[in-house]
Structure 1
């Protein structure tokens, strides 16, 4: 018989106390408050976190796909501590060494002439300001944004979002028009090849501009690799095609790299894979792995010059906060020293991609595997022939039971998954070892037998 120690009892009591306070006073995002039971987390390190009982979970979600450098990196923690001891805060109107160096490093990584950085507190504010900059620069009002996208939950960002999270905020800002991006597995264009999907998606975008009036459109905002809505890697020539359309009509191209950037796709920025230079790049998450709130907009020379002699009508109390910027400086330098971008790329080509394809061969419920770097998705189905999703679009409650069971099975085995609709994403930290990645995929493989139980195809 296992004996309960005083330490065990203390940990249990502490966990229960935290949970009780949470349920009494914390209002959680995107949740029906009475239907959730958040796990009290005691600590984390590297690719793992653990609860107060000491149960460890391999973090295949990187929390919200943002802990790219892993949990509690000692050099990053030390940089924050050093900056806090030296200068904890200063207003955005002053020049500051941490802010200036963070901007320099980020601009140095960006393609083309994107040389200036406007700092925000996160990705939604970054997209909000990018939209504002594009509208003011062009003098136009409309913005085209894709269905199956997520750009944040503030007013403009949620309007640009192309998934059900937008519905509760409508009506929102005016002038946003949604279009269909490429998604060959469930092609809205009935394409039979990647080349067809690319051609037809670009033709659809061009047709949308025709009926909306290209001369009224300030910007097209897109995720170079769609994140939460499916890890949709675009066809080879798609982004270059969008860039060409924008150039033709004087439209600004905004690349939302909040999730895809800073190593996640095996590149500093996902657009680098296709050698495409946007007019604006938005970032957050991986820039400092969420150790402190930070995001921003990287701005091309032509847009920045619009505000040389005309004030930019936007700002934030904590824009370029010294602690956050110091963490970004440290993070970028660590990425370079430890070759984390290269590690992410190699993991995708040599470990995660091949192993997930083997998993798909063993499980009929896996309809498709797609991704790159440490940015992968398994689309779960009940029939491979018809591609019927394991659960319906935007499922909840009983209709989502199959995914709920699969998620619980992952957690039971010590794997913390990232699930959305009928997909499970494989998005561990960019620093994960090949051994831990293999172990996580083994646990995912075992949990997928729960999904297979719901398979009805031949």
Structure 2
């Protein structure tokens, strides 16, 4: 939707005309001074965002777009939720910052609320500034706890941009950073649509993927392996929901060989999958669980590690050699308290589950049945991927692994032009709106994608 009236007021109080002027200045300064992540600096033209509210954002030209990216799949509670905004302001007025060696009310209450929702007895919470450093510290804990060094991680995964986390990552962003000396060994996880195991059923995929992992453990030497880290549902890599029995099988292998099981819930946690944590779908309890993003919808940077009693005991009388100046920062943890409380009071996790099973999932499946460029639709809650292909029979991706294509760029551009901001990665469109999304907004977003895919179909004709 384009706001043609320059005097109209955006949610932040600016008129459209004033917002455009602010956006122009912001873009100029961005291009002059800002160094962007994951980008060739001279080849990008970043969208300027001037306002946001609920499931919508406004760009620098005054256009309102449905945010079906949740920015980086983190605004689970939606943009500018008044209870979270108020909590940040109240905390700023009371206590802006405190060194992490001191207790403070916001951090203590956030830890309690998170521990109440983690599976099993993961009742100790170590706070970080985000997901990547949560993964870094989880791996450090596992290595110190076991006295081993190797960590196993799957291909088609993303764990963060810091040194250990990027080496754990199983997508092409790892390649320029990977010198083969980080103690990381990658393996193939289950992904039936593009099976590495020649499987034809979910049961076969589970059995063969676990056999592959078991063989890898034995060939690498169980006594050398500290941890296996898995996104409970891989996010950026493709929202590949594990088949039944797979995560339970990984848990059993870890138990058999004394390996720490780390569940990466940075993207999939806090309602995104329709449960508080994605691993809750599978009835499995890890030894360590990393989180970030949805814990406070990214309003203030925050991440952390939830720790089992066994690993806690390793450091009960032995100093843990790690920390951060902003660990459990009061503004961030106050935002987490407000976010988790609002999600519970307003039934936001339940809304995500209902929307996924009754609205978004069925709508995407129906869309897939009509488009020759759609190979597969998969997901749960408000966490869905639409896999786009050049040929349904051969499953040739619409964009090559690790890259994009003119066809993919066209789909993304058409979605934006029609008023919907998707999350796109390689040959996939991820439909990942905030957990507060309504049925009407879902149908509007899916209709926009439907129209954009018509042009992709025509190009394949």
- TM-score by length of structure 2 reads 0.96
Alpha-carbon contact 1:155-1:172 (below 8 Å) kept: no
1:376 is aligned to 2:381: no
1:272 is aligned to 2:277: no
Q: What is residue 34 of structure 1 aligned with on the other side?
A: 42
Cα distance between partner residues in 2 of 1:232 and 1:408: 25
Cα distance between partner residues in 1 of 2:212 and 2:187: 8
Q: Give, in angstroms, the shift of residue 214 of structure 1.
A: 1.0
Q: What is residue 407 of structure 2 aligned with on the other side?
A: 402
| Partner of residue 428 from structure 2, selected from 412, 423, 437 | 423
1:250 is aligned to 2:255: no
Cα distance between partner residues in 2 of 1:271 and 1:4: 47
Q: What is residue 22 of structure 1 aligned with on the other side?
A: 30
Q: What is residue 317 of structure 1 aligned with on the other side?
A: 325
SS in 1 for 2:189: coil
Assess, with a 3 A threshold, how the Cα gap between structure 1 residues 332 and 4 changes in structure 2: closer, same or farther.
closer
Q: Give, in angstroms, the shift of residue 59 of structure 1.
A: 0.3
Q: What is residue 457 of structure 2 aligned with on the other side?
A: 452
Q: Which 10-residue stretch deviates more, 7-16 or 265-274?
A: 7-16
Cα distance between partner residues in 1 of 2:92 and 2:24: 32
Cα distance between partner residues in 2 of 1:440 and 1:3: 24
Cα distance between partner residues in 2 of 1:267 and 1:208: 32
Q: What is residue 340 of structure 2 aligned with on the other side?
A: 332
After superposition, residues 129-148 of structure 1 pair within 5 angstroms as 129-148=137-156
Q: Give, in angstroms, the shift of residue 170 of structure 1.
A: 2.1
After superposition, residues 336-415 of structure 1 pair within 5 angstroms as 336-396=344-404, 400-415=405-420
Q: Give, in angstroms, the shift of residue 208 of structure 1.
A: 0.4
1:166 is aligned to 2:174: yes
Cα distance between partner residues in 2 of 1:335 and 1:11: 31
| Partner of residue 44 from structure 1, selected from 42, 52, 56 | 52
Q: Give, in angstroms, the shift of residue 174 of structure 1.
A: 2.3
| Partner of residue 236 from structure 2, selected from 228, 235, 245 | 228
Cα distance between partner residues in 1 of 2:47 and 2:411: 18
1:331-355: CA deviation from partner (whole Å, max 9, x where unpaired): 1100100011100000110000100
Cα distance between partner residues in 1 of 2:170 and 2:376: 22
Alpha-carbon contact 1:156-1:172 (below 8 Å) kept: no
Cα distance between partner residues in 2 of 1:389 and 1:254: 31
Assess, with a 3 A threshold, how the Cα gap between structure 1 residues 99 and 172 changes in structure 2: closer, same or farther.
farther
1:270-309: CA deviation from partner (whole Å, max 9, x where unpaired): 1111110000000000000000000000000000110011
SS in 1 for 2:414: helix
Q: What is residue 92 of structure 1 aligned with on the other side?
A: 100
Q: What is residue 11 of structure 2 aligned with on the other side?
A: none
1:349-373: CA deviation from partner (whole Å, max 9, x where unpaired): 0000100011001111000000000
| Partner of residue 218 from structure 1, selected from 201, 217, 226 | 226
Assess, with a 3 A threshold, how the Cα gap between structure 1 residues 4 and 358 changes in structure 2: closer, same or farther.
closer
| Partner of residue 198 from structure 2, selected from 178, 190, 205 | 190
SS in 1 for 2:207: helix
Q: Give, in angstroms, the shift of residue 14 of structure 1.
A: 2.7
1:218-249: CA deviation from partner (whole Å, max 9, x where unpaired): 10000010101110000011000000000000
Q: Give, in angstroms, the shift of residue 391 of structure 1.
A: 1.4
Q: Give, in angstroms, the shift of residue 215 of structure 1.
A: 1.4
Cα distance between partner residues in 1 of 2:101 and 2:5: 60
| Partner of residue 108 from structure 1, selected from 106, 116, 132 | 116
| Partner of residue 62 from structure 2, selected from 54, 57, 60 | 54
- TM-score by length of structure 1 reads 0.97
Alpha-carbon contact 1:111-1:272 (below 8 Å) kept: yes
1:435 is aligned to 2:406: no
Cα distance between partner residues in 2 of 1:98 and 1:27: 33
Q: Give, in angstroms, the shift of residue 265 of structure 1.
A: 0.4
| Partner of residue 127 from structure 1, selected from 135, 138, 141 | 135
Q: Which runs of 5+ in 1 are unaligned?
A: none
Q: Give, in angstroms, the shift of residue 392 of structure 1.
A: 1.2
1:67 is aligned to 2:75: yes
SS in 2 for 1:114: coil
SS in 1 for 2:123: strand
Q: Give, in angstroms, the shift of residue 453 of structure 1.
A: 2.5
SS in 1 for 2:460: coil
Alpha-carbon contact 1:224-1:270 (below 8 Å) kept: yes
SS in 2 for 1:454: helix
Q: Give, in angstroms, the shift of residue 191 of structure 1.
A: 0.3
Alpha-carbon contact 1:222-1:256 (below 8 Å) kept: yes
Q: Give, in angstroms, the shift of residue 9 of structure 1.
A: 5.5
Cα distance between partner residues in 2 of 1:388 and 1:62: 28
